[in-house]
Amino acid sequence: MKRATKQLFWIAVVIAPVCFAQERRVYEGVVSWKKATIGTVILMEIKDGSVSGWIRLGKPVPLKGTAPSETTAEFEAAGNVYRIDERRGRITYSGPDGEGSRLVSRLTRLHGPLKELIEETRLWGDQIAALEVGGRRRELFYRTVALWKRAGPPFEAFTRLEELIGKDIAVWAADADLRSGRIVVVEEPEGLDIPLKAAKKPKEQPKKN
């Protein structure tokens, strides 16, 4: 009997699901800020059943929440309370900045080497970043993207994607399909600490006669 009990315990341990998974999500939507309607981006880190990250309210503001599900998340930021319902495609909020129920969409994470940046196109002045994802080339439109730093607040306007050519990167894209999409957020690659401003180029020394 004891042996059977031990075996059942061992089986239960082996097949038990991992309860404290780590996950990242990015959403793009519309909220209120200072009683006005604005577009926003939400960077969400889920770990051990808690939610942390950033929401853009004029600038990146830290957020904090608990108990997310696969399709919902609740958090607080700057005194406001937010609830995302992916099935309805809505973000509901209330607080000092206003209240309402607006559109929200979850972005798709794509990972692979950044092959090249293609010159400006005729379509709304967008540029194209060629990313290789699972052996397939994806041409992703972008303008100014946000950089999700590994430590500290994100950069709202990161314009130096050329510094990442040849590196494996992860991007979060809207309207992503098997060929294209629109980059909204780039994750800072591991091992890098990208500064807000590009390093100044050394001045050329005057040539001696």
Q: What is the CATH number of domain 108-187?
A: 2.40.50
Domain ranges in the chain with CATH number 2.40.128: 19-106
pTM higher than the cut 0.75 = yes
- What integer pLDDT is reported at residue 205 of this predicted model? 65
- What integer pLDDT is reported at residue 35 of this predicted model? 87
Amino acid at 59: K
Domain ranges in the chain with CATH number 2.40.50: 108-187
Separation of alpha carbons 41 and 182, rounded Å? 14
| Token code pair at residue 84 | 């995302």
**How far apart, in Å, are the Cα atoms of 57 and each of 38, 89, 92?**
8, 20, 15
CATH architecture for the domain at 19-106: Beta Barrel (2.40)
Instruction: Say whether pLDDT at 15 is over 80.
Output: no
Band of pLDDT at residue 86, cut at 50, 70 and 90: very high
Instruction: Say whether pLDDT at 119 is over 50.
Output: yes
Band of pLDDT at residue 202, cut at 50, 70 and 90: low
Q: Which residues pair with 78 in a beta bridge?
A: none
